[in-house]
Amino acid sequence: MRFNKICVFGLGYIGLPTASTFATHGLRVVGVDVNPQVIQTLHTGGLHIHEPGLRTLVQAAIGSGNLTICEQAEASDAFIIAVPTPFFEDKSADLRFVTSAAEAIVPHLRPGNLVILESTSPPRTTVDIVAPILQHSGLVPGSDFYLAYSPERVLPGQILRELIENARVIGGVDHASAEAGRELYSVFVRGDIFLTDATTAEMVKLMENTYRDVNIGIANEFARLADRFGIDVWEAINLANRHPRVNILRPGPGVGGHCISVDPWFLVEAAPDLATLIRATRQVNDSQPHYVLDLIQRAAGELKGRQITALGLAYKPDVDDLRESPAIEIVHLLVDAGAKVTVYEPYKPDAQLPGTRTAASLTEALQDADLAVLLVAHKPLIEAQPTQAAAWMRGRLVVDAVNGWDAQSWQQAGFGVYRLGVGKLKVEG
């Protein structure tokens, strides 16, 4: 094995599990992050992100002596860039973390080293942006050192398992670079490893997340159509999905998180004349919180002064990640409409949002509410008992934006139930 010591840039949701997994598999790993708070937290045994099993893994990696955490890169056999790629206000990719990580590698780069970009990036970033920066070292990618792109495909909530088990795509600037990537990741990857070129690998990642975005977008549009035509979209999707070649995803309050709501824009930015379906999908999914607000207004009428409880703030069920969460956008819209909003996020009960009251428990959240809105299908929220809710709440109205509740039980407990994607005819049941 040529790569015994590696340097991982970015100790977030991808970099930290990756660095730790390499370390627990025997490599010497230097984990680098530009945020002193992250370094400080990790040095004192804490963790700045929540992911099942990660604390134990990080402790094992640091405890073994194989993982060290610092602010500066060191000479290594391989370098992995796993930094965020957010977008600017105009939706163009912000590659500043990627370029500064590449610049930090330059002084340490030696012949025979391997550099891998894992951050989700617009097509051609590896060859057009990263390679020229690394060339400032005087070394040529593909001749003097190896350079590859390998996308991360792990699902938040299941990162540790998927990191090892998922199939992995490694795209080299030349074949030897892809092979070098295979050698490195084979240390822990048990899924199949597929080799290709760097730009194809970048596209693969963007296509996966864009495909999911389009599928959710059409589900959201179907929900709006079902609502107009007075049918239940959930029933219709279940029936359509009995077709052997159809698999429609779930409508909801919108698409959040740091991946699917961001990545498709990289394609729109790179080829605005071609990516018209992708842009339209983004617009549908980005406007879904407004659609949910509209549903709440239809249920409750005037929102000004109404006591509304928002249940769930995370971007998806059973995670505590609030990044780009459509639930939070809906809360902002409710506050703007003049409602008195109480928020309850069971996985982050101290989360504060401007203009709202934070409740620490479901009981506290529902106390005296006129209306409760289910925004995330967290397990502890969908298990809420309508009879108990009836005892705590002042009003008898619920809005379910995620199809998490059994409408009949709520109706039996005396509630008016409004569900996303269910037209009036079915609501009355």
Assess contact for 99 and 68: CB atoms under 8 A: no
**Candidates 183-191, 252-260, 367-375, 385-393; binding stretch for ligand SAJ (CB under 6 A):** 252-260
| 286: contact with ligand SAJ by CB under 6 A | no
| 252: contact with ligand SAJ by CB under 6 A | yes
| 257: contact with ligand SAJ by CB under 6 A | yes
| 160: contact with ligand SAJ by CB under 6 A | no
Assess contact for 120 and 151: CB atoms under 8 A: yes
Site for ligand SAJ in 95-114 (CB under 6 A): none
| 255: contact with ligand SAJ by CB under 6 A | yes
Q: Which CB, 48 or 250, lies closer to ligand SAJ?
A: 250
Q: Which of 133, 193, 249, 270 binds ligand SAJ (CB under 6 A)?
A: 249
CA 358/CA 345 separation, integer angstroms: 9
Query: In sequence order, what are the beta bridge partners of 81?
Result: 9, 117
**Candidates 47-55, 149-157, 192-200, 385-393; binding stretch for ligand SAJ (CB under 6 A):** 149-157
Q: Which of 174, 208, 286, 364 binds ligand SAJ (CB under 6 A)?
A: 208
Q: Least Å distance between CB 220 and ligand SAJ?
A: 7
Q: Which residues contact 243 (CB under 8 A, 6 or more apart)?
A: none
**Candidates 67-75, 88-96, 146-154, 329-337; binding stretch for ligand SAJ (CB under 6 A):** 146-154
CA 76/CA 27 separation, integer angstroms: 11
Q: Which CB, 28 or 168, lies closer to ligand SAJ?
A: 168
| 316: contact with ligand SAJ by CB under 6 A | yes
| 217: contact with ligand SAJ by CB under 6 A | no
Q: Single out the residue of 72, 82, 111 nearest to residue 22, CA to CA.
A: 82
Is 379 designated active site?
A: no
Catalytic residue from among 7, 259, 316, 426:
259
Binding mask 167-206 for ligand SAJ (x = CB under 6 A): ----------------------------------------
Amino acid at 357: R
CA 337/CA 365 separation, integer angstroms: 20
Q: Least Å distance between CB 386 and ligand SAJ?
A: 24
Is 426 designated active site?
A: no
Quickly tell me which residue has 């984990």 as its tokens: 31
- H runs (alpha helix) in 301-404: 326-336, 362-366, 379-382, 386-392
Q: Least Å distance between CB 128 and ligand SAJ?
A: 21
| 156: contact with ligand SAJ by CB under 6 A | yes
- H runs (alpha helix) in 48-117: 54-63, 96-105
In angstroms, how far is CA 120 from the centroid of its own chain?
Answer: 12
- H runs (alpha helix) in 106-170: 125, 131-134, 159-165
Q: Which of 102, 260, 369, 381 binds ligand SAJ (CB under 6 A)?
A: 260
Q: Which residues contact 163 (CB under 8 A, 6 or more apart)?
A: 17, 18, 21, 152, 154, 188, 189
Binding mask 340-379 for ligand SAJ (x = CB under 6 A): ----------------------------------------
Residue 101, phi then psi, degrees to nearest 5: -65, -45
Assess contact for 333 and 290: CB atoms under 8 A: yes
Which sign does the torsion angle of CA 67, 73, 78, 79 carry? positive
338: tokens are: 């003049």
Quickly tell me which residue has 């990545």 as its tokens: 263
| 246: contact with ligand SAJ by CB under 6 A | no
| Active-site annotation, residues | 205, 259
Q: Give me the residues that bind ligand SAJ (CB under 6 A), please.
A: 120, 152-156, 208-209, 212, 216, 249-250, 252, 255-257, 259-260, 315-316
